[in-house]
Structure 1
Amino acid sequence: MFDINKLVRSNIKNLAPYSSARDEFSGEAKVFLDANENSLGSPLNKWYNRYPDPHQVKVKQAISQVKSVAAESIFLGNGSDECIDLLYRCFCTPGKDNIIICPPTYGMYQVSAEINDVEIRKAPLLDDFQLNLAHLETLADENTKIIWICSPNNPTGNSLHRQDIETVLNNFNGLVVVDEAYINFARQKSWVQELAEYPNLVVLQTFSKAWGLAGLRLGMAFASKEIINVMDRVKPPYNINQVTQELALKALEEVGQVNDMIRLLVDMRNALAEVLVQLPGVQKVYPSDANFLLVKINKARDVYNYLLEKGIVVRDRSNVLLCEDCLRITIGTEEENTALVDALNQLN
Structure 2
Amino acid sequence: MDINNLQRENIKNLKPYSTARDEYKGQASVFLDANENSFGSPLAEQDGMTRSYNRYPDPLQLDLKDAISKIKGVPIENTFLGNGSDEAIDLLYRAFCEPGKDNVIILPPTYGMYEVSAGINNVEVRKVNLLPNFQLDLDGIAEAIDANTKLIFICSPNNPTGNSIVRTDIETVLANFKGLVVIDEAYINYAKQRTFIQELTEYPNLVILQTFSKAWGLAALRLGMAFAARPVIDIFNKVKPPYNINQATQDIALEALRNIAQVNDWIKVTVAEREQLSADLAELESVKKVYPSDANFILVEIENANAVYNELVEQGIIVRDRSKVTLCEGCLRITIGTPEENKTLVAALKNR
Task: Determine the C-alpha separation between the residues in 1 that align with 2:345 and 2:35.
Answer: 53
The 1-side partners of 2:227 and 2:198 are apart by: 10
User: Residue 136 of structure 1 is aligned with which of 136, 141, 144?
Assistant: 141
The whole-number CA distance in structure 2 between the counterparts of 1:268 and 1:287 is 13
Amino acid at match of 1:19: S
CA distance in 1, matches of 2:336, 2:226: 26
The answer on 1:267 being equivalent to 2:272 is yes
Structure 2 counterpart of 1:209: 214
Deviation >6 Å, runs of 4+: none
Task: Report whether the alignment pairs 1:344 with 2:349.
Answer: yes
Give the percent of matched residue pairs that are identical in Structure 1 and Structure 2.
66
Superposed counterparts of 1:41-190, under 5 Å: 41-45=40-44, 46-190=51-195
- The residue number in structure 1 matching 2:47 is none
Name structure 2 gaps, 5 residues minimum.
Answer: 45-50
**Could you say what secondary structure the match of 1:328 adopts?**
strand
Contact 2:136–2:165 under 8 Å retained in 1: yes
Give 1:29 deviation, angstroms.
Answer: 1.3
> Which residue identity is paired with 1:12?
I
Q: CA deviation at 1:3?
A: 2.2
Give 1:271 shift: 0.5
1:73-108 CA distances to partner (integer Å, 9 max, x unpaired)? 000000000000000001000000000000000000
What is the count of residue pairs matched by the alignment? Answer: 346
Q: Which runs of 5+ in 1 are unaligned?
A: none
Q: Is the 8 A contact 2:200 2:229 kept in 1?
A: yes
Task: Describe the superposition over 1:163-188 as per-residue Cα deviations: whole angstroms up to 9, x where unpaired.
Answer: 00000000000000000000000010
Shift of 1:338: 1.1
Q: Could you tell me which amino acid in structure 1 is paired with residue 38 of structure 2?
A: S
Amino acid at match of 1:89: R
1:39 aligns to 2:38 (yes or no): yes
**TM-score, structure 2 as length reference:** 0.97
Shift of 1:255: 1.4
Q: Distance in 2 between matches of 1:279 and 1:171?
A: 45
Q: Calculate the aligned-residue CA RMSD, in Å.
A: 0.6
1:296 shift after superposition? 0.3
Q: Is the 8 A contact 2:4 2:231 kept in 1?
A: no
**TM-score normalized by structure 1?**
0.99
Does structure 1 conserve the Cα–Cα contact (< 8 Å) formed by 2:78 and 2:227? yes
1:259-279 Cα deviation digits (max 9, x unpaired): 111011000111100000101
CA distance in 1, matches of 2:337, 2:32: 48
Give the Å deviation of 1:30: 1.1
Residue 28 (structure 1) shift: 1.6
Number of the residue aligned with 2:18: 19
Residue 210 of structure 1 contacts residue 261 of structure 1 at CA under 8 Å; is this kept in 2?
A: yes
Q: Larger deviation: 2-11 or 229-238?
A: 2-11
Code of the aligned partner of 1:307: L
- Aligned residue for 2:236? 231
State whether residues 298 and 334 of structure 2, in contact with CA within 8 Å, keep that contact through their aligned partners in structure 1: yes
Deviation, 1:6, is 2.2
